[in-house]
Amino acid sequence: MSDPRCAGLLLLGMLVPAPLASQSLPPLPRAERARLAEVVRLAAGIRARVWPGWEHTPLAILLVRDSAEYLMGHPRPSSDFASIGDTLSGMDIRLRPRVFDPTLLATFPAVNGLPTIVVGSAKQTRKSSTEWVLTLLHEHFHQWQYELPDYYRRVGLLDLSGGDSTGMWMLNFAFPYQSVEVQEASKHLALALSTALGAARLERPRALAAVIEARARLTGHLTAAEDRYLEFQLWQEGTARFIEYKAASLAADMGKPSAEFVALDDYQAYGALATRAQRALRRELEEFDLGRNRRTSFYPLGAAMALLLELTRPGWMRQYEAAPFTMSSLLSEEYGHSR
């Protein structure tokens, strides 16, 4: 759920517009085809290596252009989409007149109730082609999350919606972003995570203990509901950000992308992008500002936790799936001793 408008679209995504048979719909542009083919190539090559079971999740993408929307990878497209006799990487491409905003970047049940990545072009979403591809893998991981057994029931059990049935509570929850105590405790946690990620192997246990202590200190400044909301964001968005980092690193070892993708004006090599992303994460942690960045502050915190778990807690991904929205507990010594 990367786009700040996506939660309010959960209901809109269930609405099906009438097809406009008389409208001429343009073919998929060559640059868009190159980008989408690269998303499929990376997904096929890295999903099983990044996260067990992710490779079984449908990669359903709805590309939103100025006048038309292109659907691919969807196992049960709705009747308002028409096949145009074109395929990409073995997947049928279907079209309909535009419904969604072409600047959108979100994952929600946009087509026939299935979690679908709804995304504008790289230019419309203000990303380079390589960044766009990695962001779609972030969104593809959301598809995996949303299809976990009882995901929506478990979200409901968090009791955070306040009666809001649109999903906007995920963005607008009254977290105490401006509390000085919460800001200071959050900053302390961010710095502890940065230190732990840079620690030598023998120093990691002590650094991990400092992270656990900092997280407990933050809990002390939050209500139970506020703490559940934080854990929800760390688990959902933070781990999806972690997926971006892992995807960039693995993509660098997969061989060169297609000539069509490399020829794009804004192409960037995955290795260089992975290095910049790692540096950016450390900078986000060291310059952490909850008051300014609000909800998006949780992304680097959760991503750093996932990276630290990868270093210290083999098998954490199984527990992540079994106990959603409890990201911080995976760092605990009790979990480590129970393996």
d(CA 216, CA 218): 5
Token readout for 296 is: 């998006």
Radius of gyration of the chain (CA): 20
Q: Is the pTM of this model over 0.85?
A: yes
Do 147 and 57 touch, CB atoms closer than 8 A? yes
d(CA 330, CA 212): 10
d(CA 135, CA 125): 10
Do 143 and 59 touch, CB atoms closer than 8 A? yes
Dihedral sign, CA of 121, 76, 251, 208?
positive
pLDDT at 298: 98
Bridge partners (DSSP) listed for residue 194: none
pLDDT at 300: 98
Q: Alpha helix locations (H) across 106-238?
A: 129-146, 151-157, 169-172, 180-197, 204-219, 224-233
**Phi and psi at residue 257, in whole multiples of 5°?**
-65, 180
The series of mean pLDDT values per 10 residues for the chain, 339 residues long, is 47 42 71 97 96 96 96 96 91 95 96 97 96 98 96 96 91 97 98 97 95 98 98 98 95 93 96 94 97 97 97 93 94 54
Q: Alpha helix locations (H) across 54-168?
A: 129-146, 151-157
